[in-house]
Chains A and B, each alone.
Chain A
Amino acid sequence: EIVMTQSPATLSVSLGERATLSCRASQSISSNLAWFQQKPGQAPRLLIHGASTRATGLPARFSGSGSGTEFTLTISGLQSEDFAVYFCQQHDDWPRTFGQGTKLEIK
């Protein structure tokens, strides 16, 4: 199965600043990568699919990039509601696999 590795495990960033989250696949997944946001006690929410396509209604401050094995989620101008756990998931093959998550916290 494809192993997804996220870094860092925890990221501390100040309000208004930019956060950069990384995700690496153990083999090429083309652009078949999704990013999800999860807040405590809530279900995950789709942010990005196809590595860079924003979900409907997602603010433009969220952007995704990358292809092959290296991917990045960038959140510009961090707002209080952005502090959460972020998971990447490959949607290139079954079994679908997730990264272990990056917790984005307020600095």
Chain B
Amino acid sequence: EVQLLESGGGLAQPGGSLRLSCAASGFSFKNFAMTWVRQAPGKGLEWVSIISGGGAASSYGDSVKGRFTISRDNSKNMLYLQMDSLRAEDTAIYYCAKEASYYSRSAFIDSWGQGVQVTVSS
């Protein structure tokens, strides 16, 4: 059974940084792309970033490009999201999600973690 467990959320000040982690188990982690998706309070879902199974390729949503960095450690089955220059509008629940392929524009998310809350406020 696929399990994804996020951690590292909390309160950060505007302009500050946070690093989210996602521990994966139940599947061959290195063979699948991984994605971060966020959901602001009472709002819909927003795709944040994706990274290939090997970690060499990635893509970002326009709202986080240049501020957030996705990475992974396949030796530890861990996914990360480094969030810098945080803004109030980054406040959201952040979900770690597994893709159905190594890295493909036409692949889809097939499993989600439970999410971690990030609040940006002074």
B interface residues, tally (CB under 8 Å): 23
Given A49-B100, A98-B46, is A43 in contact with B113 using a C-beta cutoff of 8 Å? Answer: yes
**Interface membership of A61, Cβ < 8 A:** no
**Interface membership of B105, Cβ < 8 A:** yes
Instruction: Give how many A-B residue pairs fall within 8 Å (CB-CB).
Output: 62
* Chain B hits for A95, CB < 8 A: 47, 59-62
**Interface membership of B95, Cβ < 8 A:** yes
Q: Contact flags (1/0) for B34-45 with A, using CB distance below 8 Å?
A: 010000000011
| CB–CB A94/B115 < 8 A | no
| CB–CB B106/A46 < 8 A | no
Q: What separation, in Å, do the CA atoms of A32 and B106 have in the docked complex?
A: 6
Q: What separation, in Å, do the CA atoms of A100 and B60 have in the docked complex?
A: 20
Given A1-B62, A44-B95, A49-B100, is A98 in contact with B108 using a C-beta cutoff of 8 Å? Answer: no
| Partner pick for A46 among B44, B50, B110, B115, CB 8 A cutoff | B110
| CB–CB B45/A44 < 8 A | yes
| Partner pick for A96 among B47, B112, B114, CB 8 A cutoff | B47
- Tell me which of A14-22, A74-82, A84-92 binds B: A84-92
Q: What separation, in Å, do the CA atoms of A34 and B105 have in the docked complex?
A: 13
Q: Which residue of B lies closest to A93 (CB)?
A: B105
Q: Which residue of B lies closest to A56 (CB)?
A: B110
Q: What separation, in Å, do the CA atoms of A9 and B4 have in the docked complex?
A: 30
Q: What separation, in Å, do the CA atoms of A92 and B47 have in the docked complex?
A: 13
* Chain A hits for B82, CB < 8 A: none
| CB–CB A91/B106 < 8 A | yes
* Chain A hits for B105, CB < 8 A: 91-94
| CB–CB B109/A97 < 8 A | no
* Chain A hits for B107, CB < 8 A: 91
| Partner pick for B95 among A34, A43, A50, A99, CB 8 A cutoff | A43
Name 13 A/B residue pairs within 8 A (Cβ), A-sorted: A32-B106, A43-B112, A43-B113, A43-B115, A46-B112, A87-B45, A91-B107, A94-B50, A95-B60, A96-B47, A98-B47, A99-B44, A101-B45
